[in-house]
Structure 1
């Protein structure tokens, strides 16, 4: 009696394993995406659809604003607890501007959950004061400002660090 040699073909098993692996990888990717949603950038303090539609106009107004006005912030550090921020707005000749509409937002760079929109609590001689407000977490914070003077709009971002 002679022995018959049979060959085994693993090719179909490999194809099926690759298809199953791709399905599992796609499902895992979708799970990660749902668990970690994309945070919207709040630099312009408006919905991204509106910014996307009007970005050229926004950038044009920003350029005109930067050519006409100077802006400076009073702080680069926060303490855990009660804080305040002041913004000095003046034109290029050094005249202080008091008739601006200023909105400020405190934000953490990694999340929008702790965003706080603030209005000036006091305006005096071109200095727009915001606060008091509480800072409860250490680390990096962003101070986002939207300033409107007449038809000009300016957007600015300043970073501050909160320490104990």
Structure 2
């Protein structure tokens, strides 16, 4: 009598496929999920309200002069780095090597464009590594020393890595958003 091995082939293919499905699920579950919190919001909120946020930035810039100084380098209210991948930043960015391992300083002054009066600012700023959120530095008004409406803060970075500086600044109910990609050396 002649044997038919075709059913064994189908059982083998089914078993291999089922095993690969189980392996894929097990591998996916074992990897930690790190949620992107650009602008301190869930990515769904950023995606849904991105145009409103950028319009708010335009309004903020039209009313106020924004001067953020990080380690003696001054920044305007910018979100230009959001469109760049980290590799592009590493090779071509003007923000490269902005932070240093160890002590860093930050200074913020917001003035009215018409009266030149310094304004009170509600600060919500985060420095985070691009791969995890276990060493995020969250800076709020409580972390700043205020002297004549000039906000200064010192913070420490413990490792050389790629970093994202993102934040929101509220003045008189108008919110300005900041997004800078850099690295620490």
**Fold match by TM threshold 0.5:** yes
Whole-Å separation in 1 of the counterparts to 2:118 and 2:9? 72
Per the TM alignment, residue 58 of structure 1 is displaced from its structure 2 partner at its CA by: 4.2
Residue of structure 2 equivalent to 1:23: 18
1:40 aligns with 2:42: no
Instruction: Tell me whether 88-97 or 29-38 shows the greater mean CA deviation.
Output: 88-97
- Compare CA radii of gyration and give the structure with the larger one: 1
Instruction: Tell me whether 137-146 or 13-22 shows the greater mean CA deviation.
Output: 13-22
User: Which runs of 5 or more residues in structure 2 are unaligned?
Assistant: 71-94
Number of aligned pairs? 157
Whole-Å separation in 1 of the counterparts to 2:10 and 2:16? 10
| 1:79 maps to which of 61, 83, 100 | 100
| 2:9 maps to which of 9, 14, 17 | 14
Whole-Å separation in 1 of the counterparts to 2:104 and 2:115? 27
Whole-Å separation in 1 of the counterparts to 2:26 and 2:19? 11
Secondary structure of the 2:39 match is coil
Kindly indicate which of the two structures has a greater share of residues assigned to strand: 1
Per the TM alignment, residue 135 of structure 1 is displaced from its structure 2 partner at its CA by: 0.8
CA RMSD of aligned residues (A): 3.0
Distance 1:70 1:20, change over 3 A: farther
1 or 2 for the larger relative contact order (CA 8 Å, sep ≥6)? 2
Residue of structure 1 equivalent to 2:77: none
1:142 aligns with 2:164: yes
Per the TM alignment, residue 52 of structure 1 is displaced from its structure 2 partner at its CA by: 6.5
Secondary structure of the 1:145 match is strand
Spell out the pairing of 1:8-157 with structure 2 (5 A cutoff): 8-47=3-42, 57-75=52-70, 76=95, 77-90=98-111, 95=116, 97-120=118-141, 121-124=144-147, 127-131=150-154, 133-157=155-179
Kindly indicate which of the two structures has a greater share of residues assigned to helix: 2
Distance 1:52 1:104, change over 3 A: same
The answer on whether the counterparts of 1:141 and 1:160 sit within 8 Å (CA) in structure 2 is yes
